[in-house]
């Protein structure tokens, strides 16, 4: 798959990144005490929305490598026919770029960097 990553659109990377980010957050939310399903959902929703992802990307932007910045740039500029119901276009584009970055790191098998970005993003969202 590594050699075919360049063939994927930034929106395809975002499609994958969205599911990876959500899975990561849900695993973190499930750790600890037992809760009602609705409580898990509310806790995860804090991290899994366009506003939170855009904020995380803003904070992480200066730490990104050239290749990561290129993925983010392409994803932000990608023409997406879908739009978020509750967020402005700029926020939605940043969230899509964040998700594309996650998808890119996963597909390039850069698991250490992926874990670092996911951990930092949760910390950023938690603190802001």
DSSP 113: H
Tokens read off for 28: 């973190």
The answer to whether 57 and 100 have CB atoms below 8 angstroms apart is no
Q: Which position among 11, 18, 50, 60 bears the catalytic label?
A: 18
User: In the annotation, is 88 catalytic?
Assistant: no
Which residues, including other chains, have CB under 8 Å from residue 21's CB and lie 6 or more apart? 47, 48, 53, 98, 99, 102, 118, 121
What's the CA gap between 89 and 93, in Å, rounded? 6
Which residue numbers are catalytic?
A: 18
């Amino acid at each position: 798959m590594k050699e075919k990553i360049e063939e994927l659109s930034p929106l395809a990377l975002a499609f994958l990144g969205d599911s990876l980010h959500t899975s990561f957050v849900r695993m973190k939310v499930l750790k600890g005490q037992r809760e009602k399903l609705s409580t898990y959902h509310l806790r995860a929703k804090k991290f899994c929305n366009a506003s939170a992802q855009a904020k995380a990307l803003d904070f992480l932007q200066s730490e990104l490598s050239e290749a990561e910045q290129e993925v983010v740039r392409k994803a932000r500029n990608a023409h997406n026919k879908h739009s978020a119901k509750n967020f402005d276009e700029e926020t939605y584009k940043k969230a899509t770029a964040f998700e594309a970055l996650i998808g890119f790191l996963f597909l390039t098998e850069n698991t250490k960097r992926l874990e670092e970005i996911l951990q930092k993003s949760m910390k950023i969202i938690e603190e802001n």
